[in-house]
Amino acid sequence: MNATERFDRYLEQLSAGLGHADRHAGLRGYCTGLMLPLSRKSVELMAARVDPMHASARHQALHHFVAKAQWSHTEMLRRVAQWVIPKMDFRSGGWWIIDDTGFPKKGRHSVGVARQYCGVLGKQDNCQVAVSISLASDQGSLPVAWRLYLPEDWAADCERRAKAGVPEQVRFATKTQIALEQLRTLLAEGAPRHCVLADAGYGMDNAFRQALSDMGLLYTVGITSAVVVWPPGVEPLPPKPYSGAGRPPVMPQRTAELQPMSVKALAMSLPSQAFQTVTWREGTNTALSGRFAALRVRHAGGNVGKARLRPQQWLLIEWPADDQEPSKYFLSTLPEDTALSELVSGAHQRWRIERDYQDLKQDFGLGHYEGRGWRGFHHHGALSIAAYGFLMAERLIADKPACGKKNFIDRQVPALPKGYIPRGRASAKTSLMTQ
- Mean pLDDT across the stretch 129-135? 97
Percent of the chain with pLDDT over 90: 71
**pLDDT digits over 369-382, tens only?**
999 999 999 999 99
Distances (CA, A) of 153 to 177, 214, 360: 17, 31, 29
Mean predicted confidence (pLDDT) in 14-30: 94
H or E element in which residue 82 lies = helix 73-84
The whole-number pLDDT of residue 254 equals 72
Statement: residue 186 has pLDDT above 90: yes
> Residue 402 has what pLDDT?
42
Highest mean predicted confidence (pLDDT) among 71-75, 108-112, 307-311: 71-75
Q: Which residues contact 31 (CB under 8 A, 6 or more apart)?
A: 11, 14, 383, 386, 387, 390
Residues 83-103 have a mean pLDDT of 95
Residue 4 has pLDDT above 70, yes or no: yes
- Amino acid 410: pLDDT: 43
- Mean of the pLDDT values across residues 223-237? 88
**What DSSP state is assigned to residue 289?**
E
Give the global pTM.
0.88
Band (pLDDT 50/70/90 cuts) for residue 435 is very low
343 within 8 A of 95, measured Cβ to Cβ: no
Q: What pLDDT is attached to residue 302?
A: 59
The string of DSSP codes covering 158-217 is HHHHHHHT--TT-----HHHHHHHHHHHHHHTT---PEEEE-HHHHT-HHHHHHHHHTT-
Stated length of the chain: 435
Q: Which of 198, 196, 223, 220 is nearest to 344 (CA)?
A: 220
DSSP assignment letter at 237:
B
Mean pLDDT over all residues of the chain? 88
Is residue 269 very low, low, confident or very high in pLDDT (cuts 50, 70, 90)? very high
In this predicted structure, what is the pLDDT of residue 202? Answer: 97
C-alpha 401/C-alpha 384 separation (Å) is 19
pLDDT of res. 403: 42
Which pLDDT band, with edges at 50, 70 and 90, does 409 fall under? very low
pLDDT over threshold 80, residue 362: yes
Q: What is the mean pLDDT of residues 106-134?
A: 92
**Which of the residue ranges 33-42, 234-243, 302-311 has the most confident prediction, judged by mean pLDDT?**
33-42
**Mean pLDDT to the nearest integer, 252-260:** 76
Kindly state the percentage of the chain with pLDDT values over 70: 89
274-293 mean pLDDT:
88
